[in-house]
Chain A
Amino acid sequence: MNIFVLMKSTFDTEEKIIINDGRIDDDGAEFIINPYDEYAIEEAINQRDTHGGEVTVVTVGTGESEKQLRTALAMGADKAVLVNTEDDMEQGDQYSTVKILEAFFKDKEVDLILAGNVAIDEASGQIGPRLAERLNIPYVTTITDINIDGTKVSIERDVEGDTEIVETTIPLLVTCQQGLNEPRYPSLPGIMKAKKKPLDELELDDLDLDEDDVEPKTKTIEIFLPPERQSGKVLSGEFDEQVKELVSLLKNEAKVL
Chain B
Amino acid sequence: MSRKVLIIGEVRDNSLRNVTFEAISAAKSVSDGGELVGVICGENNLEPLGNEMIQYGADRAIIIQNDKLKAYSSEGYSQAIYQVIDEESPEAIIMGHTAIGKDLTPKLASRLETGLISDAIEIDVVGENVVFTRPIYSGKAFEKKIITDGIIFATIRPNNIPPLERDESRQGTVSNLDVEISDLQTVIKDIIRKTTEGIDLSEAKVVIAGGRGVKNKEGFKPLYELAEVLGGAVGASRGACDADYCDYSLQIGQTGKVVTPDLYIACGISGAIQHLAGMSNSKIIVAINKDPEANIFNVADYGIVGDLFEVVPKLIEEIKQVKVNA
- Residues in chain A within 8 A of chain B (CB atoms): 11, 13-14, 16-17, 19, 24, 35-36, 93-95, 98, 120-134, 138-142, 154, 158-169, 177-179, 215-226, 229, 231-235, 239-240, 242-244, 246-247, 249-251, 254, 256-257
Q: Which residues of chain B have C-beta atoms less than 8 A from A233's C-beta? A: 301-303
Q: Which residues of chain A have C-beta atoms less than 8 A from B306's C-beta? A: 239, 242
Give the top 7 A-B pairs by smallest Cβ distance, nearest first. A217-B115, A130-B110, A129-B106, A232-B301, A133-B110, A126-B106, A218-B115
Interface centre among A161, A167, A235, A242 (most CB of B within 10 A): A161
Known contacts: A231-B298, A247-B315. The answer to whether A220 contacts B201 by CB under 8 A is no
Q: Are B188 and A17 in contact (CB under 8 A)?
A: no
Q: Are B187 and A120 in contact (CB under 8 A)?
A: no
Q: Which residues of chain A have C-beta atoms less than 8 A from B118's C-beta? A: 123-126
- In-complex Cβ contact of A129 among B74, B148, B189, B202 (8 A): B74
Least CB distance, A158 to chain B, in whole angstroms: 6
- In-complex Cβ contact of B274 among A13, A223, A226, A235 (8 A): A13
10 contacts between A and B (CB under 8 A): A17-B137, A24-B141, A129-B107, A160-B202, A165-B189, A165-B192, A217-B115, A226-B281, A250-B302, A254-B302
B69-92 contact mask (Cβ, 8 Å, vs A): 1 or 0: 000001100000000000000000
Q: Which residues of chain B have C-beta atoms less than 8 A from A235's C-beta? A: 302-304
Complex CA distance for A36 and B110, rounded to whole angstroms: 22
Complex CA distance for A247 and B193, rounded to whole angstroms: 33
The main secondary structure of chain B at its interface with chain A is mixed
The main secondary structure of chain A at its interface with chain B is mixed
Known: A16-B273, A178-B251. 19 other contacts (CB 8 A): A124-B106, A125-B118, A129-B104, A158-B248, A167-B186, A168-B186, A219-B145, A221-B146, A226-B142, A229-B299, A232-B300, A232-B302, A234-B304, A235-B302, A242-B311, A246-B318, A254-B263, A254-B284, A254-B302
Q: Are B99 and A218 in contact (CB under 8 A)?
A: no
Known contacts: A35-B255, A165-B188, A257-B322. The answer to whether A126 contacts B310 by CB under 8 A is no
* Size bracket, chain B contacts: 35 or more
Judge if B200 is at the interface, Cβ distance under 8 Å.
Answer: yes
Least CB distance, B114 to chain A, in whole angstroms: 6
Of all chain B residues, the one with the shortest Cβ separation from A137 is B185
Known contacts: A161-B247, A218-B146, A240-B314. The answer to whether A120 contacts B319 by CB under 8 A is no
Known contacts: A94-B106, A162-B191. The answer to whether A218 contacts B148 by CB under 8 A is yes
- In-complex Cβ contact of A239 among B114, B200, B249, B311 (8 A): B311
Complex CA distance for A221 and B263, rounded to whole angstroms: 31
B150-165 contact mask (Cβ, 8 Å, vs A): 1 or 0: 1000000000000000
